[in-house]
Amino acid sequence: MYKIAVIPGDGIGKEVMEATLHILDASDIEFEFKFADAGDEYAEKTGIPLPQETIDIVKQSQACLFGAAGESAADVIVKLRRELDLFVNLRPVKAYPGTKCIFDDVDFVIVRENTEGLYSGIEEYTEDGATAVRVITNKASERICRFAFEYAEKTGRKKVTAVHKANVLKKTDGIFKNNFYKVAEEFTEIETDDRYVDATAMFLITHPNMFDIIVTTNLFGDILSDEGAGLVGGLGLIPSANIGENQGLFEPVHGSAPRLAGKGIANPSAMILSAVMMLDYLDENEEARKLEKALITVLRENKVVTADLGGDATTMEMAAEVKTKFVRE
């Protein structure tokens, strides 16, 4: 039995979490779900967006499913990443049938460094405005690049591309690029190259199939991930994993979407796919493929899907349909 921390959070996070747990209830694998609080709504009640109790629950679990946080996201998910040293943000960008894909065969993964860069939060006001410090270290650069190559080996991917702006940010991105090629020397069977982030942004739109795994720094990875979502039908279809040496946290990237909250129409796909990533993290690969296949079947049939996918189903109706397919697999 796996102990899983569950943080529904805010807005549609609670709704897509309910839908996903409804499906996992039919799994052949046993889970013990431990619910924990975090986010805007909890902060309104207590003044604290992320209580220590929640951090402890996650630390004591084998994995965590996270729904969404609203305005308090920086105080919740960013803090959890730091507290648990979740140095990898893993975002697959994959085209599924029955969705509004620009390209039908897109399938690449963005490996984003999760702990430093401009998101280190080192800012100060000056007489003329403000200054932010971009922190790039050898340690963080090497370990994120190593993860990317090891992930390529584990998943059978053939190419890793480093994305940077070392022609302008010569020192900080120079360190990142140098560490990339240093690590690459140990993985001679994997093709490597590097590209500037602005060129990468263009090639994602014009030639996305040239990418297999992209490894990059924090801010660049955040931006390119959302661009990738646009290629395959939007944020409602993009899961993510935050991974460290001893812990994994899995969340959809769509946020709390307050304008949709409470209407029961949120697309649960990204949360379901985040659960697929959790199963892979737990090495329950057969169950992961079974769940992913069930979702793909529902997307391909395009009968019981939410409005953003062209249907009129509620969140829970779509989840029930995925659960039916899941049980039959």
Catalytic site residues? 119, 165, 198, 222, 226
Q: From residue 55, how far is each of 135, 243, 276 by CA, in Å?
A: 25, 15, 23
C-alpha torsion sign, points 227, 131, 216, 270: negative
Amino acid at 15: E
Label residue 219 exposed, middle or buried (CB < 10 Å: 0-12, 13-18, 19+).
Answer: middle
Q: Which two tokens stand for residue 180?
A: 């990339």
d(CA 106, CA 93): 7
Radius of gyration of the chain (CA): 19
Query: Do residues 5 and 61 lie in contact, with contact meaning Cβ atoms separated by under 8 Å?
Result: yes
The H-or-E segment that residue 173 falls in is: helix 172-184
d(CA 134, CA 116): 8
d(CA 224, CA 237): 15
d(CA 37, CA 51): 7
Give CA 289 to chain center in angstroms: 18
Label residue 171 exposed, middle or buried (CB < 10 Å: 0-12, 13-18, 19+).
Answer: exposed
Axis-axis angle for helices 315-328, 12-24 (nearest 10): 20
Q: Which two tokens stand for residue 291?
A: 């769940």
d(CA 254, CA 217): 20
Neighbour tally for 324: CB within 10 Å: 15
Identify the DSSP state of 117: B
